[in-house]
Amino acid sequence: MNSANEAKKADGADKASTRSTIEFPYTDLENAIEVVKGVHAAGGTACDYDQLAAQLGMEAKGGGFRMRVIGAQVYGLITYERGGRISLTDLGIRINDPQHEKSARVDAFLSVELYQKVFDQFRGSPLPPQAGFERALVTLGVGPKVKDKARQVLQRSAKQAGFFEMGADRLTKPAIKVDQISGGDKKSTDSKAPQTEGVGGGGGGGHIHHPFITGLFQTLPPIGSEWAAADRMNWLNIANGVFKLLYKGGNEEIEMKIKE
């Protein structure tokens, strides 16, 4: 009797050890964007669960549709309420806007806990071969039984978000044009009185910054995290373009290099 109980406990422990302990989607980024577009078509920024299923031509009670909704939620594109209401997040609204879609794809990819950790671990370095890559995913918390599926979805999503633009063997954050920076709007620079945004603490002495400047600093990685030299160079080049656009003078060319 005791041996039977011990066997059950051992079996339960073995199953627990195969579960994933880190969040990641089972559908790729394009599938999640289709969900966003479905919400937009059905209700603008929000719709009912059944309405979205009908819009996508799927069965509301089906596992495939449920997996798509969960995936879009993991990418940070939607919120799902218990009453069956699905709403687009700010990121979901941005990714549905062609002007900001590229930068929103980058943010959606890095919204996934697993993908952010993989990017931090292999930033600036070649990705390991398939077997080694899957072992790395398991060490990050992916269940051994789903490591192959997790790797395939990650690599497809990374390509869809532009992280393989510099080569299929490494994850590189894509360069974002000035008019795709979150918070900026190219046509606002043509206005005589461009929209401005206050930053800093309370009181009337805060500086006023153009949305391009605010958006530029919003793209900086967290303090203390790794930031490859090539990615820093991309950011500095974008910053230089913003400064040329917004400030007078400075006709001299600025040259930046990466030295070993």
How confident is the model over 26-83, as pLDDT tens digits?
999 999 999 999 999 998 999 999 999 999 999 999 999 999 999 999 999 999 887 7
How confident is the model over 10-23, as pLDDT tens digits?
444 444 457 899 99
Nearest Cα residue to 120 out of 181, 166, 173: 173
What Å distances lie between residue 111 and 24, 68, 182, 187, CA to CA? Answer: 10, 16, 15, 29
* 45 conformational bin, left if phi > 0, alpha if psi -120 to 50, beta if neither: alpha
**What is the C-alpha to C-alpha distance for residues 105 and 122, in angstroms, rounded to an integer?**
19
Model-wide pTM > 0.75: no
Amino acid at residue number 235 = W
> Given CA atoms 49, 51, 52, 56 in this order, what sign does their dihedral have?
positive
Residues 6+ apart with CB under 8 A from 260: none
How confident is the model over 156-179, as pLDDT tens digits?
999 999 999 888 888 999 887 655
Q: What DSSP designation does 144 have? A: G
pLDDT value at position 192? Answer: 38
pLDDT value at position 237? Answer: 75
pLDDT value at position 211? Answer: 66
User: Per-residue pLDDT for 184 more than 80?
Assistant: no
Is domain 29-95 classified as CATH 3.40.50.970? Answer: no
- Assigned token pair, 72: 């879009």
Highest-confidence segment of 124-128, 176-180, 224-228 = 124-128
Terminus-to-terminus CA distance in the chain, angstroms?
A: 67
pLDDT value at position 257? Answer: 75
Nearest Cα residue to 94 out of 79, 106, 83: 106
**What is the C-alpha to C-alpha distance for residues 48 and 126, in angstroms, rounded to an integer?**
43
Rounded to a whole number of angstroms, the CA Rg of the chain reads 22
Domain chopping of the chain, boundaries: 29-95, 101-160, 178-246
Of residues 228 and 170, more confidently modeled: 170
Could you tell me the pLDDT band of residue 180, with boundaries at 50, 70 and 90?
A: low
Average pLDDT rounded to a whole number, residues 132-152? 96
Average pLDDT rounded to a whole number, residues 127-136? 95
